[in-house]
Amino acid sequence: MRAVRAIALLICSFMLSPLSLADDETQFTVSDFRDRADELYKARREGLSLFADDKFDEAYPLLLEAARGGFKQPQARLGYMHMNGLGGAKKDSRYALGWLGVAADGRTEPSIRKMFNDVWKRIPEQHQSGYQK
């Protein structure tokens, strides 16, 4: 199952990467996918480590890359960073809730879903219509 998720993640990340803009004659090899997976896992690992060390400026671009690749923990960390205006993340509740919502969607850790729900409950009811849950 882990291999299936990794392959799906790679396909999605290639669709979002500049390589997807190439013409129809471009062919990708297994090595290309493996290299991209290695880059994403490295960004995830280093970004989470820097975040844990409160090095938010350095962590932000790595977490962003990993989050765009579909990793839940980096998505949640970006939500936290935007909620608090840490590192390269501007303080913005829309970005914070957006990243937390993506992180909480689908198969995720209960702590991430709880964080999203806790933040959602703090939004006044009259403003909730401005967000998609």
Write down the domain spans for the chain: 2-128
The model's pLDDT over 15-44, given as tens digits with 9 standing for 90+, comes to 555 544 455 567 888 888 899 999 999 999
**Integer CA distances (angstroms), 95 to 19, 27, 83, in order:** 26, 35, 8
d(CA 20, CA 43): 20
The model's pLDDT over 69-105, given as tens digits with 9 standing for 90+, comes to 999 999 999 999 999 999 989 999 899 999 999 999 9
Decide: helix, strand or coil at residue 129: coil
d(CA 48, CA 58): 10
pLDDT at 8: 52
pLDDT at 28: 80
State the average pLDDT over residues 122-131: 83
Radius of gyration of the chain (CA): 16
Tell me the two tokens of residue 5.
């998720």
d(CA 49, CA 65): 14
Residue 114, pLDDT > 90, answer: yes
Q: What is the pTM of this model?
A: 0.75
Phi, psi (degrees; rounded to nearest 5) at 107: -75, 120
- Of the pLDDT bands very low, low, confident and very high (cuts 50, 70, 90), residue 4 is very low
Query: Could you say which of 3.30.460, 1.10.390, 3.30.70, 1.25.40 is the CATH number of the domain covering 2-128?
Result: 1.25.40
pLDDT at 128: 81
